[in-house]
Structure 1
Amino acid sequence: MVREEDENRLLYYRTLFSQYLVDMYAKIETERLNYIRYNQAYLRADSYVHLKDAIGRQDTDITQLGNRVVLPSSFTGSPRYMHERTQDATTYVRHYGRPDLFITFTCNPQWKDIADALLPGQKPHDRHDIIARVFHLKVKAIMSLLTKGNLFGKVRCFMYSVEWQKRGLPHIHILLWLEQRISAINIDNVICAEIPDPQKDPILYKIIKTNMIHGPCGNLRKSPYMKGGCCSKKYPRILLKETQTGDDGYPKYRRRAPADGGFTVEIHGVTLDNRWVVPYNPVLSRTFAAHINIEYCNSVKSIKYIYKYVNKGSNQASFGLENDNDEVKLYESGRYISSSEAVWRILAFPIHERFPAVFHLAVHLENGQRVYFNPNDFNNVTEKVNNPQKTTLLAFFDLCKTDNFAKTLLYVEVPSYYVWKSTKFERRKRGNNVDGWPGVKKDQALGRVYIVHPNNAECYYLRLLLHQVRGPTSFSDLKTIDGVVYPTYQSSCKSLGLLEDDKQWNATMEEAALTDSPFKLRDLLSEDIKRQVQSECQDSVQIMNEVYNKCLSSIEDTVLSLGAQCLEYYGLPQPERREEVIQNREISYDTLLLAQVVSNNESLLNTEQYQIYNQVLDSIENGTGQVFFLDAPGGTGKTFLLKLLLARVRKNGGIALAVASSGIAATLLDGGKTAHSAFKLPLNLMRVETPLCNISK
């Protein structure tokens, strides 16, 4: 009885200690997040040109400008931080090609270093602080063996990320780029997926048996890896006499059957062969006596998967419906912290390492650089307008005006030869000398220009030019090709042959002219507009000009309703509007027709529909901002009620957005749109850093 009480007491103290560690780090992280929340609550960001224009207008509310900045990429582990690490990894691929090896190194709680540090009666899971310290030393040892010991050859660059299993054990994912690439015929010299000979190498045999055998799972034994009746890790693998490469994924390593000289091992009373072996390297396994999975990267598919896997960040699970764009709250919600991770972060051990360094380079249109300001401090805003901070792009232009060597470089190459000093680039003082350029040295640092979405058309083409034009001295210089100054960055890209031509659009229009009506293809053709104009004008030249202009106006109306951008933004001619105003789709309904619809259909509502109808209208008229959920069986009049509500609001000049989750459902409502189109939602809400509507102030 006493012994059982002692065990219960020990279990209680173990749980208490683990919870104490988690609580301690949770408080530390909360304080860091609170600093960001309360010290940047009023910090906003906007383009310099917008801020400058706003200051010039006296009726502008500065507090409504720009977007709030809440959780920056400088916060370790934030979505932006992880996204930047992923982009940095792609920078290595651009310079050095695909990585050679992907290594996963997991902590072994049975290490002698851990056992010797435990107090009598303690288990490894009682001392997460010891596990963290020992594993940190092991990580330094394995990285030293790989990068300084050149186990697989001289390392060109590397990166690794630390993660934690649900049961608490830390592990790291390592990517290695080697100067001398591993060829397909040499894979077997580096990676093994077979059980060692128990007679010739009993030590390695025991290590592999303990750490590198998967399962067994499936019909042999229950396992958490089983999903849908199959092993999610794709074990058992097929037996092969020779290693095979070429598939879009990892190679199929040599796994010889017992009849071909392979060995077996017995685990949990089950005899297993080489089909169950996790790929390993004999030297690493013998040195560290732990689970060290090593894979050969030989395809684009595996590279993309690895980058996302290495930089996926901490586990989170939460769901909410709020009108509060609080990125700190989004990050904190559902944050899972194990006691092992808590110790690691408290001790300030790194969770990411990489070499060489990647320097981030800004990209923006002229006067479009990002400006951070405090809207509650007018002096601060004025100072930002009068003395905007120098960006790396503007500094690059200035450098090319005075430095002859810089004129030979692309924007992305600058960090290899120059260091950033607050507001300007200066030549490096360390590194290898550059032939023919006295005083110029090259280091291993790499540059990466921030990505730009193609929707931001001109900035996207500007970025494209920065990767093609050497030594530009200004924005205008980028648009000058062979002495010709082009009006847009897009036209400059076309002159350099960087963009496709319009043959596919011409073919589309030719096909549409034969198969579809002009009304349905307003975005492509203008025959119906031509017919309307001909009845009003007899001058053939004036007719075509008018047709051309009206067609552009019609296209722009549609584009504005979808993306809120004029045709000029997409590189198309801007129509002449004269005295007409651009139609807002949400207030351009026929109010007389809608009034008749309401008058004819209100009397058709049944008792329950009428009750709902009145409640919704009452909420709209009083501005209470309520949310209603309408649920009823199919065919009972839900769509009829919704269409009547839309007509009632619109007939009085109000704006009613008809939004549905799918295109089919949207077609049932007058003026219906999908939620993704109306609110600029990300297409995949589960795979985006911050799933928020992309609508700025």
Structure 2
Amino acid sequence: MFTTRPYKKTKLEAWFDANQTFPNARNYSYSEFPNKFTWHPRPGIWKERKRGDVIGRLSEVHSSSGELLYLHMLLLRKKGSRSFEDLKTVNGHIHETFKEAYAALGLLQNDNQWHEAIAENSHTSLPPQLRAIFVNILAYSPISDPLRLWEANWQYEDLKNYVLAEIEKLFNDIGKSLKDYATMPFPSEVYFSNAVNRLLQEETSYDKEELKILHEKNHGMLNPEQKNVYDSIIQNIYNKVGGVFFVYGSGGCEGKIVLHVASYGITVVLLPGGRTAYSRFHIPLKLYQDSTAGIRHGTDIAELIQQTDLIIWDEAPIQHRHAFESVDRSLRDIMSAIDKRRAKKPFGGITVVFGGDYR
């Protein structure tokens, strides 16, 4: 005999119920709800929060998701809804679709849904994903003001033209161009040229004066043992003799390029200009004893490495040794183009400092 499990309501359906049960619940949108209520999965109900503060957010929805996108937008705005029909009700009229309800709120006239879509995805999406979302919105959605969408959402003035160039490349892949949108700016051809190394420019565009002040502040706090390590590393860098160091620590150069990487993605967000070791050095996902990192001669990353004086690799103890070995082989190969003797030096003669906590 087959038995059926009792149906458990989704968080959204339970939100409708909570709005009928708790008068106070009707003061919050679905995305705001976890601030004042907690979800209990076994009974499938929301209960009033007794302590603590939580920031709630909805899962991202792609700009081409149709009705799901407009449902998502309504959940960000409408408060106290008690059913799907209630969500689609505006000024007493029940609309056929979530899009019609969103439009009845006057939110389609100025492309607000697209601004909100980019803003919502910006919390967790990487720059390439945000560029892809921007291209999808322009290519497949009825947008009234592409320039306003661009001006309101692009970041980092120094990288503006590089972002435009990357967006143009994405458009080219689907047979379109930024030139199809009369108001959108178009980058100079120089930004499409290999002569402009974006990676190198990123690593040489830091505020040196600000970093100098920070360096002097932290340098004065070093204890004798730490200062000894610091002096040894700096001496190796300026004498260009290379070397490999490991700094054991718990918890976590003027005109010179330092690449800061970490083995774990969450740590990267705490590092200025940090990257994961996998993304920076193109380490293959499947590692073997004789693996090499995917860095080719003549590429931007190869040029960046050839001008690098120091690599700091955080959280090294959790990284598989084949990852270090693959980077070592590739760096020896890349640096041998400068000096054949560097092919015999660890990491091509670049000073490398590993850090981490074995605990």
Coarse TM-score class (shorter-chain normalised): 0.3 to 0.5
Query: What is the TM-score normalised by the length of structure 2?
Result: 0.35
Q: Which has the larger radius of gyration?
A: 1
Query: What is the TM-score normalised by the length of structure 1?
Result: 0.20
